[in-house]
Structure 1
Amino acid sequence: MDKTFKPAEIEKRWYAHWEESGYFAPGGSGDPYCIMIPPPNVTGSLHMGHGFQQTLMDALIRYHRMLGNDTLWQVGTDHAGIATQMVVERQLEAEGRDRHELGREAFIERVWQWKGESGGNITRQLRRLGTSPDWSRERFTMDEGLSRAVQEVFIRLYREGLIYRGQRLVNWDPSLHTAISDLEVIAEEEQGHLWHFRYPLSDGSGHLTVATTRPETMLGDAAIAVHPEDERYAQLVGKTVDLPLVGRQLPIVADDYVDRDFGTGCVKITPAHDFNDYALGQRHGLPLINILNADATLSDAVPEFYRGLDRFTARERVVADLEQLGLLEKVEDHTLKVPRGDRSGVVIEPWLTPQWYVDAKKLAAPAIEAVESGAIAFVPKQWENTYFSWMRDLQDWCISRQLWWGHRIPAWYDPEGNVYVGEDEASVRAEHGLSDNLPLHRDEDVLDTWFSSALWTFSTLGWPEDTPELARYHPTSVLVTGFDIIFFWVARMIMMTLHFRGEVPFHTVYVHGLVRDSEGQKMSKSKGNVLDPIDLIDGIDLEDLVAKRTAGMMQPRLAEKIEKATRQHYPEGISAYGTDALRFTFYSLASTGRDIKFDLGRIEGYRNFCNKLWNAARYVLMNAEGEDCGQDPEAPVSYHLVDRWIRSRLQETIGEVHRALDNYRFDLAAQVLYDFVWNEYCDWYLELSKVALRDPTGDDAARRGTRQTLVQVLESVLRLLHPFMPFITEESWQSVAPLVGVRGATIMRQPYPEVDPSSVDKAASAELEWLKIIVLGVRNIRGEMNVAPGKTVDALLRNGTENDKKRLLDNQTFLMQLARLGSIRFLADGESAPAAATALAGDLEIFVPLAGLIDREAELGRLTRELNRIEGELKRLRGKLDNPGFVAKAPAEVVEREREKLAAQEQAQARLEAQRQALEDM
């Protein structure tokens, strides 16, 4: 092994070998274990959320692969209708062309060309993370097999009356000219206005004042609504008002939807341009007046002088015209949430348009029962409540999109508008007896990508064919996902799979948190706090980081903002940490269901952990290669206390890791492994092993036992760590495994360690803990009294039991070496302790005589100066916290930090006072 750990040199080499050797393919002899990857967009690039999610799945897959399960991790990508079409349209725009000039068929060919050339970026990045899906089975939601499944599902649902075409409100993107899902709408607070307008009562008795943030929509008003218990307007219900600028009379209706305490308590109702208004309009039988065209210009449904105007231009004109009529009462500044398309960035409009829908209510009941019965379990369990609340108030699902890229809807129309659904035009004509002379026109729309991904667990395994893979791996074992797509994907997969397969798609839904920055803020380019997993793995300097973040920005001001934020957050760029350190950081943060606060300090620490493990392996190899490690069954082997202890602690660690992983507590597994490897194996056992191997009183059998323990425990540790840190464990294992007589091409096909109860030695653990307490007590005294590291000290013990005296006799060699002692003994009966620094180990007292060890006067001076400094800091902190103004006005977290500082300084003061008193007593 090289002297230093160089992740860049081993990662690409090992990954290429693993993939080329087919190690990721199913092959275990045990029960099947299957995970379906949430398919990332083919246009995508790896972000922190992807990186976090993929490493969680990979740990589960590698763990179960090593447990012997017949393990399949099904990989694939989503065709990402809107995103992919936008990418190719931008390419055409750069060439001075557009898709309409190209035509539909030629445009689709161009998209497939782009997919072949550039659509694999994210899968290449997934490989850099060390993920181990079966790449030979990679699927794409537009490939031939999945297209067939999508068509089959649409046709069957249509024939069962569960798919229909209807005109309802949708989220409409006026730039992309398509309906989009709620997940593709980002609503963020923006500064706007609240306009108050007067609507005259038709009988001339006065007016009602209504407030709106979208004045242009008043041209499509259908009613004024008031609360049924609002005494101010009770006598007006049933009357009408005149709609200004239009002249239409609007009824005044009563409805519980109205908040009588907001504004004037009167609400204008525009059923064709607001989702809440649409629902109210349905209850009261109000007309749907669509005032917008597809591009958000005003339609022919408005007075002539507004027609064709852009919606925001029309807003200005409506306000000006109402002001001129004396009907504008006032304008207020108002903060509101504005919905924008996540791809286009334009304001989304609720728009009335004919679309295809799935009658989701009829599919919901079995999906609810599957979770209620425990056939599907959510981890953490509280996410079941989120699932139920949505499923029990389910709206029909809009599945059509006005795009060219995607699964085209298999529906045809005749000149009369009759619709025919089938596999192709020929089968439609044959099934319905339609003449070849009757012209048919195919539906121009495509299906929402969530429709095809809802079939993911069974379509990727070959459905609608009854394939061996479908019989073997379905239902799948676990779905790993974020809470933000429980509605959009998880619930729809459950509904579709139960309907078409009669079984659940997965047994467990593990819901992880979202990755945020170290302050808990959502990551965004404009904040400059976005981290790219590949940058963390490989490192990137500041200038390249700035260029990467601002590349392709259409708005110069935004690009400037991103550059400034990047320079502020990462003035020196980002160091190269390697894949294993990044992965282990993710696991350490993966507590169930909570959002993840990611900071570079964590990954820095786990890079050090990688180095620690690497150096431990090198130490073991240096002491074991070419030596007798107990391979000869005829040669006697005996074990020191320290060997028995570390073997016992290994077994306890194995059990804890199994329990953590079986309960999806990646954070607990990571902590257990970190503590064992760093604190117990490296910091204690390796140091103790040096003493054991050099002990002149030891025999060959004992040294053989220590060397055997060194390599056997390390080999087990590497297998334990492999699901979390695949590269460093593979590289190290290749050198260590032969020393324990293990043969195999790769660590990932080795068995995962299981608990061996016969190796659990409680007595050894108790005795070693006693030894550690003595060593730590002496070390603390040395540190507190500022004794030079190279100096040996003497130690005296008092109040020990007969068992303590036996332990001292048995372990004196280890104590002398680890605590750097010149001597250690128990005080004789009646013997008084000299002036010394003390420590306690339960009832056992530890004394370290200080005479001759330190310059008493110089040390007293140092302690006095430090105490004076602390006293000044305490005065400042107490003054701050005693100030009512600071405590009342400062953020709670700032006040808490100051209190923590005060407590830490008070503890330091007490410790130094005790040290000074000990010196004064000398």
Structure 2
Amino acid sequence: MNAAKNSSKIFRNPAFSLKSKTICIPVGHSERSGAVVEPYLSTQWFVKMQPLADAAVDLQAKEEKVHFVPDRFEKTYLHWMENIRDWCISRQLWWGHRIPAWYHKETKEVYVGLEAPEDSENWEQDSDVLDTWFSSALWPFSTMGWPDENAEDFKRYYSTDVLVTGYDIIFFWVSRMIFQGLEFTGERPFKDVLIHGLIRDEQGRKMSKSLGNGVDPMDVIDKYGADSLRYFLATGSSPGQDLRFSYEKVESTWNFANKIWNASRFALMNMDGMTYDELDLSGEKSVADKWILTRLNETIEDVTQLADRYEFGEVGRHLYNFIWDDVCDWYIEMAKLPLYGEDEAAKKTTRSVLAYVLDQTMRLLHPFMPFLTEEIWQHLPHEGESITISSWPVPVPEHTDKEAAADMKLLVELIRSVRNIRSEVNTPMSKQVELYIKTSTEDIAGRLEKNRSYVERFTNPSTLKIGTDIAAADKAMTAVVTGAEVILPLEGLINIDEEIARLQKEFDKLTKEVERVQKKLGNEGFIKKAPEHVIEEERGKEKDYTAKREAVRQRIAELKG
């Protein structure tokens, strides 16, 4: 009463007046319907998370934990689990798994169970549904026949090898699959979690309807094909990194696919009806045959190891370099010599090598370009119904020939140097030129003589001399390759001062390489930690660069003299 009286006195005070004022406050709206989002208190179902989270965290301290790739995302996962709160699992939606709870219509008793109460007429099921992530978290084992732990699929496939997902749902999905898998099966649901990034537009922005920067994959497929898009997406970035979509890059992949198709068409045109049973790799092989088989072994080994580590960007780089450079640009061109020649035995061997290399290459490429590789493989001499169920390639030790690989490396370096010199002085390949090759040893001279036909075919010389006692002409362009000096007398076509300037640039470049390698070899940390074969490789580079630099220095001195 006193309070009421005091209150009335206050309102009657003439010094006090009431006012109204409009105040703008932010109100949340649904992004889909536009309806105002208002707070609403209601009864919800929760899962007590601490025991589940503790088990999931403890798992990561064990040897058989869930491995994150890249491993930095394990910290993101643990941060969520170590700071966990109880999980609200009920949702007020029209679809989903119903909450398995019933309320007695009279006593209001609550019943929770797998099956409805026996006298169901007196019970009413909760109208809420489970959170979608609760249902999704059951996926690794519920799809395998669980809760029947004797189900064949469950026994064979659980736990799975790898889960591939984006970094934005590590907590929403990955963590919940892990703690539910542990709770219901006692095992981790998967061994590895491969985290990929998001696909962004060319400016690095997230694709959204509001920005209008989304890309319809069907439009890309209509223009460039499914394989081009798939290869770009699979090999365009490293694990955990976002990928910027670019039509230019997809077109580049499309060009790569065309290169593979055209090279395969050439090979198929020259198979001469060869069947799988007629393949024979035991015949006398050329240096090109031995080299491409060696490179294939190296590529199989590299691609397999990188794929096992989920380094698909590096897998794509190795496959691209092997197919475009080694197979298409060099081996197929060199294979034309026996294929267009008169030696039937050499033809058969080259056909067999070409068919074998393409077969193995298509298998390596198949996960990234399934449609193209299946079509090509079906027309190659093959065994089996589909490339999809064919075995993964493995290196064949007897196909590795280090000596042939070294010879081919020398040939490629030599041929490229001649072509570069021709390009610098605008001398087309159709015009014959004199070519002298001064070797540092008789052994290198013998190796080049043995493969003289390749040098003649791909450099088009009017005169070709190979030896250790060849003197360089005054007016000539030169190039230094491993163990030899390439000399092209081009009197009247070059300016000596310009040639000296060009060689000086080459000398400076080689000096930087020598200094870089020597600095690396002088680093105690590198010597202690690096594998022995890596150290030996760097020492070989130092020796090679030093020899080349000395040859360039001598040539500069000759021209100045």
TM range, smaller chain: 0.7 to 0.9
CA drift of 1:425 comes to 4.6
Partner deviation per Cα, 1:41-60 (whole Å, 9 max, x = no partner): xxxxxxxxxxxxxxxxxxxx
Map of 1:737-886 to 2, 5 A cutoff? 737=381, 742-826=382-466, 829=469, 831-842=471-482, 844-851=484-491
Secondary structure in 1 aligned to 2:270? helix
CA drift of 1:473 comes to 1.0
CA drift of 1:344 comes to 4.1
Q: Which of 273, 297, 302 lines up with 1:651 in the alignment?
A: 297
Specify the alignment match of 2:245 in structure 1: 598
Aligned length: 484
Contact 1:580 1:726 (8 Å CA) reproduced = yes
Structure 1 unaligned segments of length 5 or more: list them.
Answer: 1-304, 306-313, 321-335, 431-435, 539-575, 861-916
Contact 1:630 1:705 (8 Å CA) reproduced = no
Specify the alignment match of 1:514 in structure 2: 198
CA drift of 1:518 comes to 2.4
Secondary structure in 1 aligned to 2:156? helix
Closer, same or farther: CA 525–656 of 1 in aligned 2, 3 Å = same
Secondary structure in 2 aligned to 1:354? coil
Partner deviation per Cα, 1:510-554 (whole Å, 9 max, x = no partner): 11111112232212233333212211111xxxxxxxxxxxxxxxx
Closer, same or farther: CA 350–678 of 1 in aligned 2, 3 Å = farther
In 1: Cα distance, 2:97 partner to 2:483 partner? 76
CA drift of 1:651 comes to 0.5
Specify the alignment match of 1:450 in structure 2: 133
Specify the alignment match of 1:674 in structure 2: 320
Specify the alignment match of 2:519 in structure 1: none
Work out whether 1:639 is the aligned partner of 2:285.
yes
Closer, same or farther: CA 824–349 of 1 in aligned 2, 3 Å = farther
RMSD of aligned residue pairs (Cα, Å): 3.2
CA drift of 1:602 comes to 1.3
Closer, same or farther: CA 341–520 of 1 in aligned 2, 3 Å = same
Closer, same or farther: CA 632–718 of 1 in aligned 2, 3 Å = closer
Work out whether 1:317 is the aligned partner of 2:22.
yes
Question: Higher helix proportion, which one?
Answer: 2
In 1: Cα distance, 2:225 partner to 2:94 partner? 41
Letter in 2 for 1:804: I
CA drift of 1:694 comes to 3.7
In 2: Cα distance, 1:486 partner to 1:537 partner? 30
In 1: Cα distance, 2:372 partner to 2:483 partner? 44
CA drift of 1:712 comes to 1.1
Specify the alignment match of 1:173 in structure 2: none
Closer, same or farther: CA 498–511 of 1 in aligned 2, 3 Å = same
Contact 2:442 2:468 (8 Å CA) reproduced = no
Secondary structure in 2 aligned to 1:624? coil
Map of 1:599-748 to 2, 5 A cutoff? 599-626=246-273, 631=278, 637-695=283-341, 699-737=343-381, 742-748=382-388
In 2: Cα distance, 1:821 partner to 1:527 partner? 60
Letter in 2 for 1:748: T
CA drift of 1:458 comes to 0.9
Contact 2:133 2:173 (8 Å CA) reproduced = yes
Structure 2 unaligned segments of length 5 or more: list them.
Answer: 1-17, 499-555
Closer, same or farther: CA 344–448 of 1 in aligned 2, 3 Å = farther
Map of 1:296-695 to 2, 5 A cutoff? 317-318=22-23, 341=30, 343-344=32-33, 352-375=41-64, 376-413=66-103, 414-415=105-106, 417-423=108-114, 425-427=116-118, 429=119, 440-466=123-149, 467-538=151-222, 576-626=223-273, 631=278, 637-695=283-341
Closer, same or farther: CA 347–368 of 1 in aligned 2, 3 Å = farther
Contact 1:630 1:708 (8 Å CA) reproduced = no
CA drift of 1:792 comes to 2.5
Letter in 2 for 1:405: W
Closer, same or farther: CA 700–530 of 1 in aligned 2, 3 Å = same
In 1: Cα distance, 2:276 partner to 2:478 partner? 41
Closer, same or farther: CA 676–835 of 1 in aligned 2, 3 Å = same
Closer, same or farther: CA 346–678 of 1 in aligned 2, 3 Å = farther
Partner deviation per Cα, 1:207-239 (whole Å, 9 max, x = no partner): xxxxxxxxxxxxxxxxxxxxxxxxxxxxxxxxx
Contact 1:340 1:347 (8 Å CA) reproduced = yes
Secondary structure in 1 aligned to 2:443? helix
CA drift of 1:807 comes to 1.9
Contact 2:441 2:468 (8 Å CA) reproduced = no
Calculate percent identity across the aligned residue pairs: 43
CA drift of 1:462 comes to 1.7
In 2: Cα distance, 1:673 partner to 1:632 partner? 24
Closer, same or farther: CA 519–632 of 1 in aligned 2, 3 Å = closer
In 1: Cα distance, 2:317 partner to 2:28 partner? 42
Letter in 2 for 1:448: D
Closer, same or farther: CA 594–832 of 1 in aligned 2, 3 Å = closer
Map of 1:91-102 to 2, 5 A cutoff? none
In 1: Cα distance, 2:212 partner to 2:155 partner? 48
In 1: Cα distance, 2:115 partner to 2:137 partner? 23
CA drift of 1:610 comes to 0.9
Partner deviation per Cα, 1:820-875 (whole Å, 9 max, x = no partner): 333321377473414122221145221222236x598xxx9xxxxxxxxxxxxxxx
CA drift of 1:475 comes to 0.9
In 2: Cα distance, 1:582 partner to 1:639 partner? 38
Secondary structure in 1 aligned to 2:162? strand
CA drift of 1:339 comes to 7.1
Specify the alignment match of 1:199 in structure 2: none
Question: Higher strand proportion, which one?
Answer: 1
Letter in 2 for 1:728: L
In 2: Cα distance, 1:636 partner to 1:520 partner? 53
Letter in 2 for 1:396: D
Closer, same or farther: CA 745–361 of 1 in aligned 2, 3 Å = same
In 1: Cα distance, 2:270 partner to 2:97 partner? 63
Secondary structure in 2 aligned to 1:637? coil
Closer, same or farther: CA 406–627 of 1 in aligned 2, 3 Å = closer
Closer, same or farther: CA 392–808 of 1 in aligned 2, 3 Å = same
Secondary structure in 2 aligned to 1:486? helix
Partner deviation per Cα, 1:99-157 (whole Å, 9 max, x = no partner): xxxxxxxxxxxxxxxxxxxxxxxxxxxxxxxxxxxxxxxxxxxxxxxxxxxxxxxxxxx
In 2: Cα distance, 1:817 partner to 1:525 partner? 58
Letter in 2 for 1:615: N
Contact 1:638 1:704 (8 Å CA) reproduced = no
Closer, same or farther: CA 753–766 of 1 in aligned 2, 3 Å = same
Closer, same or farther: CA 613–461 of 1 in aligned 2, 3 Å = same
Partner deviation per Cα, 1:652-677 (whole Å, 9 max, x = no partner): 10001110111111111111111111
CA drift of 1:387 comes to 0.5
Closer, same or farther: CA 602–783 of 1 in aligned 2, 3 Å = same
In 2: Cα distance, 1:516 partner to 1:845 partner? 50
In 2: Cα distance, 1:396 partner to 1:412 partner? 22
CA drift of 1:617 comes to 1.1
Greater relative CO, 1 or 2 (CA 8 Å, sep 6+): 1
CA drift of 1:819 comes to 2.2
Map of 1:22-171 to 2, 5 A cutoff? none
CA drift of 1:500 comes to 1.0
Contact 1:517 1:597 (8 Å CA) reproduced = yes
In 2: Cα distance, 1:392 partner to 1:450 partner? 19
Contact 2:111 2:117 (8 Å CA) reproduced = no
